[in-house]
């Protein structure tokens, strides 16, 4: 007789979280209790018969055996886990918390230690790729923490991601994700420079990026952020915004300082992101940095 499915919880139904929760619920067949401070995504999942809505974080903590989190950043993560009526206060021994938030490495390790005192296992499991990948269930998931707990939750992670990797000890998932995003953001700023120079030199931007994609400059960033966004001048909101890009890069630079690495190119990218926000483009999809480079000549 097959073992009964555990009850799953999912807290945070934003740009990435809502489609992740939808894939988790529909593909696993498990009961999923979902919560978000906004009722709209909860109602959407309920209308489609995908998940049950929870009234509070505490209800998820008290009901679910495995709890997945997808939150805006470190502050929200700390509140959901360690705040009043959060997972630390309301969770129970044997529970597993799987955090998909991109957050500081130190915070992941701090929360892992605090939850371990209550015999709750915490895995940092941030995700990479786009909202389209979240919808299609083809995210890259990088996980830090206990190997046995990882083996238990891996089948659920594979409902949301095409590439699921255990990166080692607690915090290593966040380290991998932050460095991934640090490099991605630097490539995007380099693409902005190339596109601005190429167009001013008389090259068609789409042609330029096509040629680059056929050559040694090809990359995920070129094909997605460059060709699908920069060239077309399309920088919608409700995607990976300039604010979010700056948040992730700030966390990466904190890590660089801790390990005494200069990370000069990342610092240059940080200045460009801050200038983009100062120009009122913080909510736009972060390849919008191109507009700052092209219109204002980049960052001094």
DSSP bridge pairs for 52: 33
Answer yes or no: are the C-beta atoms of 262 and 195 closer than 8 Å.
no
Model pTM score: 0.93
Q: What is the pLDDT along the chain (300 residues), one digit of tens a residue?
A: 445 789 999 999 999 999 999 999 999 999 999 999 999 999 999 999 999 999 999 999 999 999 999 999 999 999 999 999 999 999 999 999 999 999 999 999 999 999 999 999 999 999 999 899 999 999 999 999 999 999 999 999 999 999 999 999 999 999 999 999 999 999 999 999 999 999 999 999 999 999 999 999 999 999 999 999 999 999 999 889 999 999 999 999 999 999 999 999 999 999 999 999 999 999 999 999 999 999 865 444
Of 286, 297, 197, whose CA–CA distance to 249 is shortest? Answer: 286
Residue 138 to residue 20: CA distance in whole angstroms: 10
Give the active site residues.
177
Residue 188 to residue 186: CA distance in whole angstroms: 5
pLDDT of 117-141, one tens digit each?
A: 999 999 999 999 989 999 999 999 9
Where do the structural domains in the chain lie, given as residue ranges?
8-169, 176-296
pLDDT of 48-76, one tens digit each?
A: 999 999 999 999 999 999 999 999 999 99
Q: What is the CATH number of domain 8-169?
A: 3.40.50.720
In three-state secondary structure terms, 169 is: coil
Q: What is the CATH number of domain 176-296?
A: 1.10.1040.10
């Amino acid at each position: 007789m097959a073992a009964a499915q555990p009850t799953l919880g999912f807290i945070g139904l934003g740009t990435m979280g809502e489609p992740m929760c939808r894939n988790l619920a529909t593909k696993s067949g498990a009961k999923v209790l979902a919560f978000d401070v906004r009722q709209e995504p909860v109602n959407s999942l309920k209308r489609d018969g995908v998940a049950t809505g929870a009234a509070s974080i505490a209800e998820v903590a008290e009901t679910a055996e495995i709890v997945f989190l997808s939150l805006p950043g470190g502050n929200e993560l700390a509140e959901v886990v360690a705040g009043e009526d959060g997972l630390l206060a309301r969770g129970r021994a044997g529970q597993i918390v799987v955090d998909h938030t991109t957050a500081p490495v130190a915070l992941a390790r701090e929360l892992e230690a605090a939850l371990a005192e209550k015999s709750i296992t915490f895995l940092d499991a941030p995700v990479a790729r786009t909202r389209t990948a979240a919808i299609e269930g083809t995210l890259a998931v990088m996980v830090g923490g206990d190997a046995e707990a990882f083996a238990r939750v891996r089948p659920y992670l594979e409902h949301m991601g095409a590439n699921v990797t255990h990166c080692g000890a607690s915090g290593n998932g966040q380290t991998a994700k932050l460095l991934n995003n640090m490099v991605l953001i630097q490539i995007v700023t380099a693409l902005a420079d190339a596109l601005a120079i190429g167009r001013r030199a008389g090259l068609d931007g789409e042609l330029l990026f096509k040629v680059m994609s056929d050559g040694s400059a090809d990359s995920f960033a070129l094909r997605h952020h460059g060709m699908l966004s920069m060239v077309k001048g399309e920088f919608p909101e409700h995607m990976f915004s300039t604010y979010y890009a700056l948040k992730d890069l700030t966390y990466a630079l904190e890590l660089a300082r801790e390990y005494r690495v200069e990370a000069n190119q990342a610092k240059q990218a940080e200045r460009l992101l801050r200038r983009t926000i100062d120009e009122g483009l913080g909510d736009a999809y972060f390849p919008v940095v191109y507009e700052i480079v092209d219109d204002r000549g980049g960052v001094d």
